[in-house]
Chains A and B, each alone.
Chain A
């Protein structure tokens, strides 16, 4: 029903006729922007906390004890110095966080490499598999000789060769059994 609506047909055609250029999404730029946004948010958070602390400090009622001289109220310069100190400390903590993040990234990379290394197969196992394959091929070949009239000797020679070359392989046991069956 929708397909026969002339308005929809026109929309489809107009959309198809619109030439759209290829859009490339830059993932690296996304990471950079994300880092920048997080950094700004952290700084804003620190600034907000500091403003709050200052507001609380300034709003505290000043009640000197009776008989005791009122302590000198902190001047604006002192408060500014404290604020500067807090800012410097916040910057230092942010730098520390960046360093820690770097270390964490390195650790993650190392663990990823370790997991990759674990995925690499043991070459000894591969060699064993190849030997197993070769022994099996020879036994299969000997079986074919055994089944062919006039090739009994060749079959016996093949079985003997398997037993001699791969004594520890399970295929050597099979060859030995077939050899016994042929010779007795």
Chain B
């Protein structure tokens, strides 16, 4: 509650054009947004650029923040949308070039077995479609509450649970071979 009140004060300061308030927002949420972006982009990609884009969008569209959710949820919603755009741009770029996105390739001779497993798991999560990957990252890796995730992704609680369940099933199938390792 106190956090929400602080957010409202911060937003009120931002609406008055207080640049120090924006810098405070960046300092407070920069690390969290970068982490989310890194995970949503599949532990690779231009995290710096996308994070910068997220905060540019926050700065430009701050007047649209109505305060009916926490500032963190609002910023995370923007981050999710920016990541979708970034992945789409990346896909278009690779399609145009006719090559596949560079993925971390396991190399048994140089990497430890454990690291190989981790890479396989990360690849499996990155291969999930966006509608399954986003709830997984937000709920299991970012540790957000389901209600908050529903607000960010604009889906119902039921849909969120269904997606999480499907994602777990899909991952279980994808990681069957890895589990044997």
Contacts and interface: CB of A to CB of B under 8 A. Distances in A.
Interface of A: 2, 5-8, 10-15, 17-18, 20, 23-27, 29-31, 33-34, 37, 108
Given A17-B118, A33-B56, A23 B48 contact: yes
What's the interface size class on B, roughly? 35 or more
A26 B47 CA distance: 13
Interface of B: 17, 19, 22-23, 26, 30-31, 34-35, 38-39, 43, 47-48, 51-52, 55-56, 59-60, 114-115, 117-119, 121-122, 125, 136, 140-141, 168, 171-172, 175, 178-179
A2 B146 CA distance: 13
Nearest to A21: B47
A25 B117 contact: no
Contacts, number: 81
Given A23-B48, A34-B60, A37-B60, A11 B136 contact: yes
Q: Is the interface of B mostly helix, strand, loop or mixed?
A: helix
B34 A108 contact: no
22 contacts: A5-B168, A7-B168, A7-B175, A8-B140, A10-B179, A11-B121, A12-B140, A17-B118, A20-B35, A20-B38, A20-B47, A23-B34, A23-B47, A24-B48, A25-B51, A25-B52, A27-B19, A27-B26, A29-B52, A30-B55, A33-B52, A108-B17
Nearest to A13: B118
A6 B180 CA distance: 12
A14 to B, nearest CB: 4
Nearest to A26: B52
B174 to A, nearest CB: 9
B82 to A, nearest CB: 13
Contact of B122 (A7, A18, A23): A18
Given A17-B115, A20-B38, A11 B140 contact: yes
A33 B35 CA distance: 23
Given A18-B43, A27-B23, A34-B59, 10 more contacts: A10-B175, A11-B121, A14-B119, A15-B141, A20-B43, A23-B47, A25-B30, A26-B52, A27-B22, A30-B55
